[in-house]
Copies of this chain bind each other. A is one copy, B any other.
Amino acid sequence: MLTEAETRDNPGIMASHLNAEFRSTPIVWETIVQAHERIRPRIHRTPVLTSATLNALAGAELFFKCENLQKTGSFKIRGATNAIFSLSNEEAERGVVTHSSGNHAAAVACAAGWRGLAAWIVMPKNAPAVKCHAVEAYGGKITFCEPTVTSRAEVAERIEQQTGAVMVHPYDDDRIIAGQATAAKELLEEVPELDAVLAPVSGGGLLSGTCLGAKGQSGTVKVFGCEPERADDAYRSLTSGVLQKQESSDTVADGLRASLAPRTFAILQKLVDGVLLVSEQEIVDAMKRVWERMKIVVEPSSAVAVAPLLRPGGVPALGLTSKRGQQKPRIGIILSGGNVELKN
């Protein structure tokens, strides 16, 4: 394992263990290192927590990368900050526009505020009040649209044309993917000998970034996406080899209702080791376990990446084994966010 300073000083030395698939993706390791340098002063280096109780349930050593404790309450600030601070001054003057009903909206508003830019945020008119308040608190200008994928894109495009603002897509953007990759980069820097990393998958920005951030540092780590059965488009896309859209999306994991984009699909086809599906009940049970045993607030989308580990049989039943002889497998989990509305 290389030290952080070594990889920073000489990103090229990482290349030796990178396989042909990694090198064929459009995002090279150096891009991720640069993204990390760019965002590092502005974001939290989130803690990696462990739990003896959850280890016992999973039959493994679990390492939770707590992006729920990240600024704005999710990993989304990583990609948004990288994208916004990558803009040229000419681009920046035009402001930014995006569409999102959730964490990416708050992240873009927050990062734009840090750089002093205007941020137009298109949100579905049924978005939760708490998420709208967060965007407004960060200084974002909300335009409401119909709660359909088509309406979102249309309204955002109209604002783009009217204002000249730069589109910051939630996941179909190399700058976003490189930013999200820094969570797994930090996790592997702290816990180098991971056998696998699990992350939730929706549009695929986090999961493709996790593949790049993890496999850029370890030649043996596996990466799995985790997805609700009720929003299983990534699973269907990757097993069929053809990009699938999500028709219905009534899962409790409200952050996982988007579908892969061509860019994230292409990276995942090369690098991801599989997609694990979980039921609604498993999501709710896993979320409760994390709150109770780890004393941290995670949103349902985060619990999706915990649920497969807590099934009867735990990690061994998933077929994941340790590469270090008789030791228990070491599994990293990206806890993606903690933005839930708390009842009084």
Contact = CB atoms under 8 A, between A and B. Distances in A.
A135 B294 CA distance: 17
A342 B292 CA distance: 7
B342 A69 contact: no
Interface string A55-97: 0000000000000110101000000000000000000000000
A236 interface: no
B294 A69 contact: yes
A288 B342 contact: yes
Interface in A31-57: 44, 47, 49-50, 52
A339 B293 CA distance: 9
Contacts of A297: 291, 295-297
Nearest to A299: B295
Interface of A: 44, 47, 49-50, 52, 68-69, 71, 73, 288, 291-292, 294-298, 338-339, 342, 344
Given A49-B69, A295-B296, A297-B297, 16 more contacts: A47-B47, A47-B49, A52-B71, A68-B295, A69-B295, A69-B296, A73-B295, A288-B342, A291-B297, A291-B342, A292-B342, A295-B297, A295-B298, A295-B338, A296-B296, A296-B297
